[in-house]
Amino acid sequence: METIKRTKVKDLLKSEPGQDVLAKGWVRTKRGNKQIKFISLNDGSTIYNIQIVADTSKFEESLLQKITTGSSLAVRGKLVESVGSGQAVEIQAAEIEVLGECDPVRYPLQKKDTSLEYLRTVAHLRLRTNTFGAILRIRHNMAFAIHKFFNDNGFVYLNTPLITESDAEGAGDMFEVTTLDLTKVPMKDGVIDYSQDFFGKRTSLTVSGQLEGELGATAVGEIYTFGPTFRAENSNTPRHLAEFWMIEPEMAFYDIADNMALAEEFVKYLVQYALDNCMDDLKFLNDKYDNGLIERLHSVLGVQFQRVTYTEAVDILEEAVRNGHKFEFPVHWGTDFQSEHERFLVEQHFGKPVILTDFPKDIKAFYMKQNEDGKTVRGMDVLFPKIGEIIGGSEREASLEKLEKRIDEMHMSRKNLEWYIDTRRFGTVPHSGFGLGFERLLLFVTGMANIRDVIPFPRTPKNAEF
Ligand code: ATP
Ligand code: MN
């Protein structure tokens, strides 16, 4: 084939007709008659395909037969104005090379629609569907926008460890990391002798980079982490993964109000970025899965998120129950909200995103700043329509004395946390931070219903395939 530079489909669709072009990609469909074949080619650069028009008299029958759904092609030809393809341009094929054949009998993704559940069992082909193409491009755009937002605001990207000896906050059950031979675990005085393990201590995969993040923030001011997080929660919900990505900004000199303002500005920026840069893919997902998607994205931009305390929210929920609303789980002061409660507040009561603050201290982590009432702490959860909690954060306890007292009250080991407590011992400052679950954000932005469908290789209980 004549050597000209390949043009991506995304760029071809915007190009002026008349030029000689080279396209490469995978066949989505082939149709036509004896004289002429129409081939839809997609290369993953856009949700749209480029139409290839092949005059059958110019090509060997044996070559045309190899062009089946899923096969890969290089096509050189003239870009011409299109009459019927629904696109402005198409390629009049001059040369076609089949790069990789695709046995139509064995190929599991035929034209007919296949369910998302089924697709999870064919990981390699799943990513080649229109749906996953859209999701992967949106996921990439959101990751890029996250780095851009923080970079533009002067935050430092901090890499916190994935292997840790601290259970950050009791945020979730942890996966243990060990090189001990599990068929003959060394014991000493009736317990596992971790001194013989790789690190000489019991270690696990991290559930949060926050504690290390606080060390970064109290050194360079404003940091964020963006990395994988592991929680062995056996919950099997459409909103939990065992391995997910989390973004955790941590800021010195921010109080809870500054923290809320940043969280609101941040998620609005990301939603706006998606609307500005991913519209083709959003339209596809809107039409195929969730007709309210684009409207919902716009709806969070035009409003100020409702700030409400946990105590006020309990009053609202109890009032709703008195008025006949049925929740599956009971609600009273002191309980952690379930997603049905969160969604009631957002979707039915306020009709906009909600930032809940000032939770009972007993349902929150040891590091949250204690309020003067002795009962509540300055935590904040950002709740979104359709999802419930998307962000969890707090102002951190800056007082050495109060922090140590709380660690003792919660029967945690001060000794293991000395490295962290030192931030309060030497030049402590007010500071705050939060964690945004990347896949929860993507659930909102893509409108997908199951968190497994916004990550390329989901890890959930009993599933770590591929
Ligand atoms: P939830 O109550 O929904 O389990 P959480 O209180 O355990 O959340 P945090 O510990 O505050 O959550 O974690 C911060 C953020 O990380 C959450 O707001 C959510 O967006 C995300 N997140 C937490 N657990 C998971 C998970 N298992 N899979 C995906 N995202 C998660
Ligand atoms: Mn959880």
Locate the ligand 1 atom nearest the alpha carbon of residue 235 and give its number. 27
Proximal ligand: closest to the CA of 359: 1
DSSP letters, 415-433, are GGGHHHHHHHHSS---EEE
CA of 307 to the centre of ligand 1 (A): 20
Kind and range of the H or E element at 434? strand 431-437
Residue 309 CB neighbours (<10 A): 15
What is the rounded distance in angstroms from the CA atom of residue 430 to the CA atom of residue 169? 19
In one letter, which amino acid is 112? K
Q: Which residue has the tokens 């856009």?
A: 46
pLDDT of residue 123: 81
Residue 285 CB neighbours (<10 A): 22
Proximal ligand: closest to the CA of 392: 1
What is the rounded distance in angstroms from the CA atom of residue 189 to the CA atom of residue 24? 65
Locate the ligand 1 atom nearest the alpha carbon of residue 440 and give its number. 20
Q: Whose CA is nearest to atom 11 of ligand 1?
A: 392
Locate the ligand 1 atom nearest the alpha carbon of residue 388 and give its number. 3
Nearest to 231 by CA among 175, 282, 160: 175
DSSP for residue 329: S
Digit-coded pLDDT (tens) for 303-332: 999 999 999 999 999 999 999 999 999 999
pLDDT of residue 234: 81
CA of 290 to the centre of ligand 1 (A): 23
Digit-coded pLDDT (tens) for 5-32: 999 999 999 999 999 999 999 999 999 9
What is the rounded distance in angstroms from the CA atom of residue 80 to the CA atom of residue 20? 9
Q: Whose CA is nearest to atom 18 of ligand 1?
A: 391
Distance from CA of residue 382 to its chain's centroid? 16
CA of 235 to the centre of ligand 2 (A): 9
In one letter, which amino acid is 241? L
Give me the residues of the chain with pLDDT under 70, please.
1-2, 109-113, 167-172
Q: Whose CA is nearest to atom 10 of ligand 1?
A: 171
What is the rounded distance in angstroms from the CA atom of residue 458 to the CA atom of residue 365? 27
In one letter, which amino acid is 145? A
Nearest to 460 by CA among 245, 240, 246, 205: 240
pTM for the model: 0.95
Residues in contact with ligand 1 (CB, 6 Å cut-off): 171, 231, 233, 240-241, 244, 246, 389-392, 435-437, 439-440
Distances (CA, A) of 44 to 48, 50, 104, 384: 9, 11, 21, 30
Tokens of 95: 């040369």
CA of 437 to the centre of ligand 1 (A): 6
Nearest to 389 by CA among 359, 411, 410, 431: 359
Locate the ligand 1 atom nearest the alpha carbon of residue 393 and give its number. 11
To test the pocket of ligand 1, the residue of 207, 246, 368 to mutate (highest count of ligand atoms within 8 Å of its CB) is: 246
Q: Whose CA is nearest to atom 9 of ligand 1?
A: 392
